Structure 1
């Protein structure tokens, strides 16, 4: 568990470094409003030292072999599982998500991911490719990219670092992690568990800081950059990274399409879960619910019944399903989006404001809003709050057009009982993944998670072997097996 006013330290080449640039940053709990820690901002020298340590450690770490790296990841998984309760409480106090309903699962998912990647790496097969030249053999295999910069957000302050760090190191890369400045204590707690595996110094390095620290890191002498966060920041990172290998997952505007033949109770449950889970602060959260006019009224009634089952409260309490928003800027964005939608004709059916009488002003009421138009901020941007915004469509074609009217394309949900409609929407939606009859927040660790081509949601895939593929190079080895001149083949 977090202690009062904990100060995190950079991890550079196996050593803890406490210096920083400027006064550093106080870490406030969105749950209580208390200062629960401080974070130093890495200097340019700190970043350079961390990258140098990672580069120095990489050749030997890759040469250790897949089985040795797999064993290390299994050890890390065991360490995380032993600390699961304290890690979960660290997440709750710093990020605000409910301890029982969400944070315990996040900590367990971290352990599960290290175990999964420990097995994945053993099954990254090579291949022998048939050639026109019968005297040659082409063998393909994978090698680590080298040293990766990992820049991660605050909404899943342990899981997303793990989603990048575990496949990176099991594949033979070394890393420098720059976690969000909003949740450094959670990242530090995760790294403390990782250190129980006694990895060689320099395999995992951590520098703390703000956007300037991240920019220094991605422009440093790293071989690859993996980023999860908002698309405006992703654009800056990609420009700064140049021709380095990049893995980018950047925002979503998750539409849910409810067609006339849908199971409305099931659709309502999925829409509410996608809107309220993690207080809506998920890149694949339900951001827009596009409902066919024929079933609109019955669907709205089902949504309101389901939404009332999600109590807002202190995330440390057993019954709480919706906690506070993590940051002031996120709450302000929720304010703007709801005010804009109402000004343009939408109707708040439930919630619609911050709840008074809480320890902080970040407790935004779970909200259902109907009649949202395509001219609203909600339709055009990622809201990232506990909201189920309902939009109308009069036909399948109109629903499809509204869903695709976005520059973001991460995950979409479609509710229908028709196989024909499921295939049609699945193929026509500009989305990395289309989920039929479940929430936009559906996720399993091994599924390929990422944005569709032609959108600003990024590229590459996170999940299972797909992560390892994104963090390795395909290499070719051509062998000439033809007999020397004058000698017959056996």
Structure 2
């Protein structure tokens, strides 16, 4: 039995449960999200931190066919010096190596490939604390979020893609005996074989804010369907990708395959390489998370490849009426504070009728709603020791500058403040900013302003809010839409809007679920139906476009007459 088959049998139960969860869409996860020593081992946290510290100031070792140069310019948003160097492979040498390794990986078959992918995910899970520190100090996420989103939740998304792709491949039978009756004449008979054949080399372009969560779906969907994978990390967040690739290479080697089937090609801001890679004739699959400008460029300029993009959008909340404004403000406080709004799902536009809303305690004016939201955030962020762990740090200095630049775009309902982290005095910590604007200022709130920047938009009515939301989402896209209303008629109208503009909808969230959270095996992340994304994590189209089916037919001659 091959090592890959051993891996498959070891993890087959997990795969079967993942396939079932993808169908039922009920809660399930094999990877515990609690950063608990009881679950991961009493020394897991200390060991993970030691591994992270061991990378600092060193050269990171990966299998590379030929080195073109060394790069490394990561800076921790918390002010910690990283100074890690990475090899950038020679592009042509790497592609030639991958093409040579591809037939063996293709011929391994779905079970062997799934076994390798499942073993990679299992080893990633065991190193979740190490990954948490790597994610924290490259993205700026708070430690608990870095552990969950960078570790178990990202692993969930990778497993979800493996399970979905495995199911799609299982729909293709390996053999069929085809017999067509011909009446009085001998039947026509053929033996047919069907092979799942990968498209070619896959390029996964990782983002700076979620280098594992947004990367694993494309990486594992391509790998399990037989495609070699190049991961191109953001120059500011390379370490989490490097650790992931290193683990993948170790498992591939143990299974008897070329480790370079999964490779990292880092670059620098001064010498970017993504366009060169994306337009290479051997690259047939591209996964991208990032700005609309570059996502649109990829879609328009890489005709040789299937391109899957998640881009920017204007995520939206519509407030019509509420039972408890206090409960709504509490939920939105956490929503807008989590990772300082540096999530592709964080609301930016909140539409509120200018003459106010109804609550169980009476009518509130537009300004009173704004005050409730601002007060909730201010109270939460006044507790610095708690707030910094939720806010995290600002990943990019460009985002930090954007906060200040946007302060004059409306009436400031809540100013953004710099907070000092008790452990990292040089960390870039900023609190959310709320700006009051009029519905007529659509050029202001109708563009994505990435970061902790939210517009409170005064509209003529809820109907007007719906009209504006329809226009902005149709033109600019959105991944999330939320609504607060005590009216079933309004909820029905927003539901119809969500179907029309093809965006995920959340209604009346006041508890421990937040509009910017997305659960693997249940939530389809993005729809692929509006300008914010042309693909969804993880539906059938996301995986089935990564392979083709090649058939072979052999004639079976009729039996010889006696």
TM-score under structure 2 length normalisation: 0.73
Residues 323-372 of structure 1: CA distance to partner in whole angstroms, max 9, x if unpaired?
22001111112221223x23xxx2232x3244479744732222233346
Candidates 76, 96, 109, aligned match of 1:29:
76
2-structure distance, mates of 1:466, 1:134: 36
User: Which residue does 1:380 correspond to in 2?
Assistant: 446
User: Which residue does 2:507 correspond to in 1?
Assistant: 436
Instruction: Find the residue that maps to 1:223 and give its secondary structure.
Output: strand
- The 1:308/1:139 distance shift into structure 2, 3 A limit, reads farther
Candidates 49, 69, 88, aligned match of 2:113:
69
- Please report how far the alpha carbon of residue 85 of structure 1 lies from its aligned counterpart in structure 2 after TM superposition: 0.9
- The 1:7/1:236 distance shift into structure 2, 3 A limit, reads farther
- Please report how far the alpha carbon of residue 456 of structure 1 lies from its aligned counterpart in structure 2 after TM superposition: 3.3
| Stretches of structure 1 lacking an aligned partner (at least 5 in a row) | none
User: Which residue does 2:69 correspond to in 1?
Assistant: 20
User: Which residue does 1:123 correspond to in 2?
Assistant: 167
Instruction: Find the residue that maps to 2:390 and give its secondary structure.
Output: coil
User: Which residue does 1:92 correspond to in 2?
Assistant: 136
Written as runs of structure 1 = structure 2, the 5 A alignment for 1:80-159 is 80-124=124-168, 125-126=170-171, 143-159=197-213
1-structure distance, mates of 2:346, 2:227: 31
2-structure distance, mates of 1:180, 1:327: 11
Written as runs of structure 1 = structure 2, the 5 A alignment for 1:253-332 is 253-261=314-322, 264-293=325-354, 294-295=356-357, 296-308=366-378, 310-311=380-381, 320-332=389-401
- Please report how far the alpha carbon of residue 134 of structure 1 lies from its aligned counterpart in structure 2 after TM superposition: 9.5
2:64 touches 2:87 (CA, 8 Å); kept in 1?
no
User: Which residue does 2:265 correspond to in 1?
Assistant: 207
Written as runs of structure 1 = structure 2, the 5 A alignment for 1:470-481 is 470-473=545-548, 475=549
Task: Say if 2:524 is the partner of 1:448.
Answer: yes
Residues 406-454 of structure 1: CA distance to partner in whole angstroms, max 9, x if unpaired?
332222122234444333223324243223334431312233333554x
Residues 295-336 of structure 1: CA distance to partner in whole angstroms, max 9, x if unpaired?
235533442353246448999x89721122001111112221
Instruction: Find the residue that maps to 2:517 and give its secondary structure.
Output: coil
Task: Say if 2:476 is the partner of 1:408.
Answer: yes
- Please report how far the alpha carbon of residue 280 of structure 1 lies from its aligned counterpart in structure 2 after TM superposition: 0.7
Instruction: Find the residue that maps to 1:6 and give its secondary structure.
Output: coil
2-structure distance, mates of 1:304, 1:318: 15
Instruction: Find the residue that maps to 1:177 and give its secondary structure.
Output: strand
2-structure distance, mates of 1:59, 1:420: 57
- Please report how far the alpha carbon of residue 123 of structure 1 lies from its aligned counterpart in structure 2 after TM superposition: 2.3
- The 1:118/1:223 distance shift into structure 2, 3 A limit, reads closer
1:445 touches 1:464 (CA, 8 Å); kept in 2?
no
Candidates 192, 213, 216, aligned match of 2:276:
216
- Please report how far the alpha carbon of residue 176 of structure 1 lies from its aligned counterpart in structure 2 after TM superposition: 0.7
Candidates 369, 386, 389, aligned match of 2:455:
389
User: Which residue does 2:543 correspond to in 1?
Assistant: 468
2-structure distance, mates of 1:8, 1:336: 38
- Please report how far the alpha carbon of residue 151 of structure 1 lies from its aligned counterpart in structure 2 after TM superposition: 0.8
User: Which residue does 1:239 correspond to in 2?
Assistant: 300
| Equivalent residues, number | 467
Instruction: Find the residue that maps to 1:189 and give its secondary structure.
Output: helix
- The 1:334/1:95 distance shift into structure 2, 3 A limit, reads same
- Please report how far the alpha carbon of residue 172 of structure 1 lies from its aligned counterpart in structure 2 after TM superposition: 1.7
2-structure distance, mates of 1:312, 1:195: 46
64-73 vs 234-243, which moves further: 234-243
User: Which residue does 2:57 correspond to in 1?
Assistant: 6
- The 1:166/1:402 distance shift into structure 2, 3 A limit, reads same
Moved over 6 A (4+): 133-141, 312-315, 478-484
